[in-house]
Structure 1
């Protein structure tokens, strides 16, 4: 004969143990993975927020790296411009010396030629990451020199890059296509600079870089026939170029400062986002550890309760036999 005893206590104990076992498994997974919300099934809303924030953090890290490259480009151009300013200062000194009576202008021209060669070498050597902001060899001049500066989310959540820009026509020192697009190769009207009311055409350019479309006027150089009036005009042109170069260098310095600010901002913002993601989905290890111990205790008690109930049921069966 077969006996079947249905005990509500046993059924309830088993149901409670199943719940406890499930909770133990959940907490163990949270402790092992470090995530309270690991998948969308855990909490679709928090998981969605965290996924977008992780994407933003990754984008900020990429921007942070790109800013480092951009800062190097700007610093390279700025350093070269400082060198150009020094070299132009030496050219100016040479022209001032040429104004003195009895000097050998031909010998001074040798120094002047050497200094102009240094200008060209400095410009050509200003290259970083495949870009030279001071030299243009293309038929068209870029509108601006850009460095990635950040990003924003559009109304539909789309990624929109933000850039830090500087006018390209201000940074070009030598243009091998059109000389008049380069600060060191373009024609400057010395008559307009002097504003002395004369009608003499006094167009000078500082450097001949062999541009496809050369500058008009006369290259700044010295010989025994160079007159005081011509020297005055040459000095006016050099001063004008030096003034524009100084302004451009100052602009690049300001751009460099902006990039430094963005570098610090992206680093701080990335840290804040990571903290925000952690608050949404990371496991509180102290809380999880305490809960795990409590659930393990409940689990042991549940197993013991079922064991006691099974023992009692066995005794009843013995009595019925």
Structure 2
């Protein structure tokens, strides 16, 4: 039956064309954005996962920056500590050379030792990066150093992760500043002072609060005799006392070597963590891409097919509409 009020063929063709145009808009959107899940309405679950992972990746980028800053601080401390090790080793040679010398010879050697002591302090106090110095500290301050009366290491944020419950977890690389400091302006006891300034017992080489500088240079050795690299003097001291100084300097060198090893290990860990973080960010990007990226080869093929369907739909609608025109011919004379 032909009707001028209702054209079922045109309705069907129009519905088909509408579906084709809608699919075509989706494919064009995917091609223009490169994403098959660009909004939550495309796939709520994948969009939520991708959004969270992209956000986490931005945090990981910040962690990488933090690691870079931490690496710079560690490098600064390590470089200064390595240089001071060489100077303390030179001082040991000077003390050894002073043994057996007459008083005037010891005075001359002391001038060289005093220059080394001044240079040691200068190096330690210059080892500052971004407002932090781990070699010359003040325990009463909290700008990256242990708080007064509290043994607390400096922490460098090294990793960021999200647990199975969604809770954020941070990984830390710790630097024990109290173990590597050379000077501490706020310390009041030998045991809390830096490696170079705390008096060490000649018998043990350990920083000890019972240690005291010899009251009389050249006198017989006492059990409490103590020396420190930062303050020792060979002028007027006996050869036996110089030998005690050698023992103290050797013990200091050992602790400084341990400190350099500790910093070196932290430096290596930071480098490894930076490499891992970079690889992890790339892995997350690939994972997100697998969830939301569009297959451009597939979408371009679909685009061509839909464009053909669109043209056919338009043609079909035109034919359906032309059927109504045929009714007019029945009224022509």
SS in 1 for 2:128: coil
In 2, the alpha carbon distance for the partners of 1:10 and 1:298 equals: 16
| 1:1-321 paired onto structure 2 within 5 Å | 4-102=4-102, 104-139=105-140, 140=148, 143-178=152-187, 180=190, 181=192, 182-193=194-205, 200-207=223-230, 219-223=231-235, 225-320=236-331
Structure (1/2) with the larger helix percentage:
1
Shift of 1:149: 0.8
Give unmatched runs, 5+ long, in structure 2.
141-147, 207-220
Distance in 1 (CA, whole Å) between partners of 2:77 and 2:151 is: 16
Structure 2: distance between partners of 1:257 and 1:193: 30
Question: Secondary structure in 1 aligned to 2:248?
Answer: helix
Structure 1 unaligned segments of length 5 or more: list them: 208-218
Instruction: Say if 1:133 and 1:145, in contact at 8 Å, map to a contact too.
Output: no
Following superposition, the deviation at residue 136 of structure 1 comes to 1.1
Structure 1's consecutive aligned runs of 4 or more residues displaced over 4 angstroms after TM superposition are none
CA positional deviation for 1:119: 0.4
Partners of 1:292 and 1:155 in 2: CA distance = 40
Q: For 1:134 and 1:256, locate their aligned partners in 2 and report how far apart those are by CA, in whole Å.
A: 16
Q: TM-score, normalised by structure 2?
A: 0.87
Cα deviation digits, residues 54-74 of structure 1 (max 9, x gap): 112111111111111111111
Q: CA RMSD in A?
A: 1.7
Displacement of 1:155? 4.6
8 A contact 2:160–2:169 mirrored in 1: yes
Distance in 2, Cα, partners of 1:202 & 1:317:
126
CA distance in 2, matches of 1:51, 1:171: 43
Q: TM-score, normalised by structure 1?
A: 0.90
